Structure 1
Amino acid sequence: MTAFAPDSLVLNRKLPLWYQVSQSLRASILGRRPDAPLRLPTEGSLAEHYGVSVLTMRQALKELEAEGLISRHRRRGTFIEPTARPGAPVRLLGSVDAIVAQQSGETATVLDHGRAPVPAELAEHFPGADEVMRYRRLRCDGSSGEPTNWAENVVLPGLADRIDLDDLTRWPMTKVLRDVVGVTISRITDTVEARLADPETARLLGVPLLSPILHYTGVTYDDEGRVVDVARIHYRGDRFSFTVTLDA
């Protein structure tokens, strides 16, 4: 059986090399033939193939391992997970400023806030923590006052002590953490999916039960790789769309 052969890639110097390499290799993995071997070439061979350093290649592989597409074994090599199939989330690269700009321009009301047990579905993001600080806000259109989305932010308690509720009525949590609290944000992982409005979402947004909702989850990391905030935002499906622009 021939070795797994990743696609070639023309690198764009405007984007991080590790990101471009990880996305190219990801596409090769998900688009592979059913009989393709599961073992990947060595880090050195892949780095030579893509024309990048071994350190860059290692970072790209680490990203794919975090997605569950590959597993790495000391002395044995790197292997594609047999369960890796098309349908895994596509990751798009942007800037923190773009996210802040997207979430700005609306008026927000703080519905409630306080300490709460770590939600079971978010436990992996807050290892060792028993409690988190939770904020819930309703955002409305600045001109019409019509509800557009409601957001829940789950934040580390140590950071919450420096958050002013007045700031949360004016700015997104991302901006508050970065510009007011002083957190150095390294990256934000976004997931967008279609859902149906549950009773609480329908009540807050003023839409019929089971209406289409655009559900956004944003996981914010600081420069030490620690998760400092998980945002879950419910957008009205009739007011928002998800658009991506890619430079060729």
Structure 2
Amino acid sequence: MLAAGTLDALPIKCQSMTEIRHQPAAPTLVRTLVPGAAIDAHRHDEHQIVYAARGVVAVTTGRGTWVAPATRAIWVPAGTVHAHQAHGELELHLVGLPARDNPLDLTDPGVLAVGPLLRELILAYTRDPHDDSPPRRRLRAVLLDQLRTSPQQPLHLPTPRDPRLRALCAILHANPADNRTLATLGPLVGASDRTLARLFRTDLGMTFPQWRTQLRLHRALVLLADDTPVTTVAHACGWSSSSAFIDTFRRAFGHTPGRHHRLP
């Protein structure tokens, strides 16, 4: 099991290949997990859609972490070693798709927007996974059509490879509210601010402020899943005010943190 609150790829990297479970078929099912529960690192020969109808799910791979509330789903391509973690009471819906079916044409994990129709299709399709009737096959066809038009969301928290960058990111993982600049943090990890800024762009594909915002949004989702008050979340994640947090959260997820508490 992963430790509660883990939000990086270290647990997967520390497991030997013999410890990583291989399940050829990606299951289609509904599963309930208690807060902090986890599904250890494993891989499938098929694609999988991971959706949290209630709570927040984190999917960790060797390349980083993807976190999704009820308005998002996570696409896990065939062959990807990944682990799941529950934040809040998690109602987890998994949809397995044969490797030949890739409606998104994605070879890397990604986060997809889930509107009301796609949500209902996922819930209906996972309700009776052993049903192979013509109506369910038609339901699957509509589900694939909806996936093809689902916009991708930039909610990836990548894992750095450079040891100096890993050390710096670990400091901020421990305290997302840390507002120190790269110039101040650099001496702690043995790199200049210019070097670190370059590493964020080349190693992680984003700027330092963009990465820190992603980290804070991920942590905010986790805290909200545990019913932490919005003002407490804003302070714990480093926003200067609740209004600033609410504005950033709305832009990222399309709704306010207060409404997030009331999502199904």
TM-score tier by shorter-chain length is under 0.3
User: Quick check: which has more Rg, 1 or 2?
Assistant: 1
Length-normalised TM-score, structure 1: 0.25
Length-normalised TM-score, structure 2: 0.24
Report the structure, 1 or 2, having the larger helix content: 2
Say which structure, 1 or 2, has more relative contact order (CA 8 Å, 6+ apart). 2
Report the structure, 1 or 2, having the larger strand content: 1
